[in-house]
Copies of this chain bind each other. A is one copy, B any other.
């Protein structure tokens, strides 16, 4: 791996500032879903499934277009302190809402909805172990599950060509002790001054960018460094996705 930003400070887990955690993907992890992967980014593990439903939501009816929607949830054992199930609170918490809307928007932006036909692809991201970056791992993984589900639709003769217009992947960047770092683990994330999630395409275009000054506002120069670091890292992740789909 080439170095994007020179740094001598070692991180909590010994990584360089611009070093991603190891990524591992197990395709066809669940037999019932048309597409399914287990994605592991360091200790973060997410099951992503893509299931096809042969109808669209009411607002799309009769428009000859398809839909991609996502849901996200963490199993109770995924976090250090047991996470109470959403169903027991009778409502979905705000963080979960934000995340699943982000996943849905990210995937829709690289899909030609007309080529998909009048069907819905349900993306489900179930986090079974959480160590930071669950939402970005979910995007990277569910793109692959979506790809597999669409390939299955092609094989089944239901659609003619691949409706995916671009590869998409995501990672987090942040400012930690004044320095820009990539792919924050939970401990880094909890202590970062700035936290930013980036979703980008293969061609380096931005699909979504969400940056928050958790501890303090951040300077435009810091934003620029994070953008640079994020872009270089997402390029690596997309290369990995391409390898994975070759297998």
Spell out A's residues near B (CB within 8 Å).
30-33, 36, 43, 47, 49, 51, 53, 71, 73, 75-80, 82, 85-87, 90-92, 94-95, 97-98, 100-101, 105, 109-110, 122, 124, 126, 128-130, 166, 196, 200-201, 203-213, 216-220, 223, 227, 231
Between A and B, 7 residue pairs with Cβ closer than 8 Å are A47-B128, A49-B77, A82-B124, A85-B86, A205-B213, A205-B217, A220-B227
- The answer to whether B32 touches A80 (Cβ under 8 A) is yes
**Which single residue of chain B is at the shortest CB-CB distance from A166?**
B217
With A and B bound together, what is the CA distance between A78 and B185 in angstroms? Answer: 28
Cross-chain contact of A36 among B53, B77, B213, B223 (Cβ < 8 A): B77
- State the copy count for this chain: 6
**Which single residue of chain B is at the shortest CB-CB distance from A196?**
B209
Given A91-B92, A97-B94, are A129 and B217 also a contact pair (CB < 8 Å)? no
- Which B residues touch A105, using CB under 8 A? 212
Contacts A75-B126, A87-B91 supplied; 15 other A-B pairs, CB < 8 Å: A30-B129, A31-B129, A32-B78, A33-B77, A51-B82, A86-B87, A94-B97, A98-B98, A128-B128, A203-B217, A205-B213, A208-B212, A209-B223, A220-B231, A223-B227
With A and B bound together, what is the CA distance between A203 and B94 in angstroms? Answer: 30
- The answer to whether B208 touches A213 (Cβ under 8 A) is yes
Given A82-B53, A205-B218, are A43 and B71 also a contact pair (CB < 8 Å)? no
Expressed in whole angstroms, the minimum distance between the Cβ of A187 and any Cβ of chain B is 13
Expressed in whole angstroms, the minimum distance between the Cβ of A55 and any Cβ of chain B is 12
